Every structure is written in C-alpha cells, then in structure tokens.
Amino acid sequence: MTFQPYDRPVRAAFIGLGRIYDLNVLAYVDNPDVEVVALVDPSEERRAQRQADWPGARAFASAAELASSGIEVDAVEALLPVQLHADGVVELLGYGWHVNLQKPMCNDLREAERMLAAARGNDKILRVMENYLFYEPLRRLKDTVAAGEIGDVCSYHIKMVGSTYGGWDVPISSWLWQWEQMKRGRGIMVFDDGWHKLATAIWLFGPIREVRAWIGTTSVGPEVDLDAPTTICWEHESGVRGVWDVTVAMDMYLRSDYYTNDERWEVTGRRGYARVNRCTGRGIQQPSLEVYRDGEMRGYHALDDDWGSSFLASGRHWLRWLHTGDGPLLWSGDEAVDVLRFALAGYASSAGGGVGVNPKEVT
Ligand SMILES: NC(=O)c1ccc[n+]([C@@H]2O[C@H](COP(=O)([O-])OP(=O)(O)OC[C@H]3O[C@@H](n4cnc5c(N)ncnc54)[C@H](O)[C@@H]3O)[C@@H](O)[C@H]2O)c1
C-alpha cells in the first residue's frame, strides 16, 4: 500500500442509507476530519430522509452515478446488505475510494479474496469496522485482564439472547435480506450479530486453533428459521478456552435503545473474574463492568456504556486514521478474514457433528 495520509478534510460518501446509517453517521457529525459530499441509495425515500442531515451533499441512486458525477470522493462508508458486500466493495474500490465496510465482511472466503485483491489492485484501504472493539466496558475488560487484575485467565464465557420486544424499530426491508441470508445458512444470530462476538474473542485472546459447534434452529415464522439454540466453544493458540451460548427468547421484553440483544462477557482468572453485563440492550441494570477479586466486587459506574457510542468511536478512529495512517484499523481486511474463518469453522464443525475444526484449514 502506498497510502498517503490526508492533510485536509476527507471527502466522504455514504453508500446505503438504511437502519444502521443512524449510528454510523454519529462519527461524521461535527467532525472537522471529514466533509460529507454525497449520499447513495436506490430508495428515494431514504435519500430524501438523509438529505436533511447533509443539505450540502448530492444524493444519487447508485454509486456508478456518483462516480460519473465529477464529485471528488476519497472514502466511503459502505452500509449495504451483506449479499452486496463483495460486488459492492469491488466496485467502490474500483472507483478509487477507500472503503469502511460494515460487518459481516462477506459470506465466504472466495468473496473475501476478491475484496482483498480489489483493495490491493486499486491500492486502496479496505477496513471492516468492528464497533464492539470500541465499546468502553469491553475495552476496560480487556485492560483489566491484561493488567493481571484477575490473575492468569482460565477461560471465558459469552452469552447472547435475542428477543423481539423493547428495541428500536427495524423496517421490514432490513429484515428481508436477512431472511435471504438465513436461507443461505448465514443466520442473523451466529453470522450477522454473532460476527461481533467472534471478533471480540479474537481481539481479547488472539488467534484460534480449534472450534467445536452445535448450531440449532428455531422456527419463528413461515420460512424463517433463527440459528439458535447454538453453542460454540473454541481454544485459542494460547490454550485459553471460550464458550458462547446463543438463545432466542421470543416473548421476552428487553429494554433497549437499539436491537433487543442481551449480551455478557465473563472472563474467569485464577484469582477472580471480570464481567461485562450488557452491551446493545439494557438487560442487567448493574454497572456495565464488574470485577471480582479476593472477596470484593468492584463496579464501574461511570463508563460510557451506550452501545451507540461504540459506533461514534469506531467511525472517528477511521476518519482520524485517514489523517495519520498510524496504528491498527480495527479491523483491516485481513483481520476480518480471521473472523470469517472463525465463523466458517463453526459451520464446518456443526455440520460434522461437533468435531474440532482449525479455522486456518477451512476452505
Ligand atoms: N455493527 C452493527 O452492530 C450492525 C447493526 C446492524 C446492521 N449492521 C450491518 O450494516 C449493514 C446494513 O444493515 P442495515 O440494517 O442498515 O440494512 P438496511 O436494509 O436497513 O439498509 C441497507 C440500505 O442499503 C440500500 N441499498 C441497497 N442496494 C444498494 C446499492 N446498490 N447501493 C446503495 N445502497 C443500496 C438499501 O436501499 C437500504 O437503504 C449490514 O452489513 C449489516 O449487517 C451492523
């Protein structure tokens, strides 16, 4: 890469103006690092709605129209349905734009290779954003563990419960492509939202050498099968083991400003444990991080535990990075492939009856 940091505001465009735009946009508001010059979405309704945020930006129905408009663009925020990620990213990189892509990166390794090749071929940066790595309680959990506060790590547990009542509205159009993904074996629990949990595992404890999975099914409507109950466990190259249980609780009310997702991360060390009690939703109304050691519990009451803030921090990290080129992208395209391999190893294991699969060996 011959990346040259910008010494002026980055000229940016949003490609896809749907549900998650509401959070991705946070990093762009009142940020002198960036100037939003264009908005792209085939939906006229979405264009009109988002134009109100950026009256000075031009709106287009397609990226091709933007590319031929003469408007100069340096980087784009790609917020597309997952099925469009591979072709979309190859197209966007081909126009000479750096790309900040929403997760999951794509559905399989062949698509990932095409995307990485397009980044190399066009000498542009492909980042696959991972907002969970910017959620302050998780960052503090990582620091707490790394500082040795709970002793050497023995193992850890991630919990995730999806419910349907209590969060923000998700339009039917946002669900339709998710249902297509489910039919292709890339479910919303394990693959779409689950991508974050797998990403945090790698971020916390490093590369994975073996995955064992039991992926279940819950039918919630005609031709709509959710990929839970699911249990996935794994061993890192360090020897630390993790386990993640995924549950659907269709009738549970969960207070949330966003999606109805009750999540926890609990790391057990030789002397104590550290637990993040919630993330997307507001399940447990305790401090968002608690650390137990030597008979005493410490609660962190003043962390920024608004899940939306993780998008703001992730987006600002990207826009600052474009001005420095310094430090990790969180994630680079290559690192995102490690997350994809982790998920694919889970599918291969479950299909094989729970056998151990090395993510490096999935094809
Ligand atoms: N980080 C997170 O926690 C998180 C949460 C939700 C969604 N996401 C991810 O964000 C992405 C988008 O999800 P969403 O929920 O906003 O979906 P959405 O369906 O609400 O929005 C997608 C938008 O893309 C538009 N679109 C379709 N084809 C297009 C094209 N060719 N060019 C430009 N725009 C096009 C659609 O009209 C729609 O407005 C997905 O990858 C999803 O997995 C991430």
The 10s digit of each residue's pLDDT in 266-301 is: 999 999 999 999 999 999 999 999 999 999 999 999
Pocket test of ligand 1: the residue of 46, 62, 102 to mutate, having most ligand atoms within 8 Å of its CB, is 102
Strand arrangement of the beta sheet that strand 126-128 belongs to: 58-60, 34-40, 10-15, 75-78, 98-101, 126-128
Which pLDDT belongs to residue 223?
84
Tokens matching residue 235 = 């061993």
Task: Tell me how far the alpha carbon of residue 277 lies from the centroid of ligand 1, in angstroms.
Answer: 28
Looking at every residue in the chain, the average pLDDT score rounds to 97
- Tell me which of 111-115, 221-225, 246-250, 317-321 is least confident: 221-225
Task: Tell me how far the alpha carbon of residue 291 lies from the centroid of ligand 1, in angstroms.
Answer: 36
Contacts (Cβ under 8 Å, ≥6 apart) of 297:
290, 291
Q: Which residues line ligand 1 (CB under 6 A)?
A: 15-20, 40-43, 46, 62-63, 79-82, 84, 102-103, 131, 173-174, 192
What is the C-alpha separation between 7 and 13, in angstroms, rounded?
Answer: 18
Which pLDDT belongs to residue 195?
98
The pairing of strands 75-78 and 224-226 is: unpaired
**Which of 58-66's residues contact partners 24+ apart within 8 Å by CB, and which partners?**
63/15, 63/88, 63/91, 63/92, 63/95, 64/91, 65/40, 66/13, 66/38, 66/40
Which pLDDT belongs to residue 97?
98
Exposed/middle/buried for residue 312 (C-beta within 10 Å: 0-12, 13-18, 19+): buried
Q: How sure is the predictor about 221, in pLDDT bands with cuts at 50, 70 and 90?
A: confident
Rounded to an integer, the average pLDDT of 94-103 is: 98
Run of H or E residues at 213? strand 208-215
Q: 294-345 pLDDT, tens per residue?
A: 999 999 999 999 999 999 999 999 999 999 999 999 999 999 999 999 999 9
Task: Tell me how far the alpha carbon of residue 173 lies from the centroid of ligand 1, in angstroms.
Answer: 10
pTM flag (> 0.95): yes
Task: Tell me how far the alpha carbon of residue 76 lies from the centroid of ligand 1, in angstroms.
Answer: 14
- Residue pair 268/154 in contact (Cβ under 8 Å)? The answer is yes
Q: What is the DSSP letter of 95?
A: T
pLDDT reading at 92 higher than 90: yes
Q: 46-59 pLDDT, tens per residue?
A: 999 999 999 999 99
Query: Which atom of ligand 1 lies closest to the CA of 62?
Result: 32
Task: Tell me how far the alpha carbon of residue 17 lies from the centroid of ligand 1, in angstroms.
Answer: 7
Query: Which atom of ligand 1 lies closest to the CA of 193?
Result: 3
Query: Which atom of ligand 1 lies closest to the CA of 131?
Result: 1
Give Cα 238 to chain centroid, integer Å.
Answer: 24
What is the C-alpha separation between 308 and 186, in angstroms, rounded?
Answer: 25
Phi, then psi, of 273 in degrees rounded to 5: -145, 160
Query: Which atom of ligand 1 lies closest to the CA of 311?
Result: 1
The CA distances from residue 339 to 26, 46, 128, 306, 344, in Å, are 25, 31, 11, 24, 9
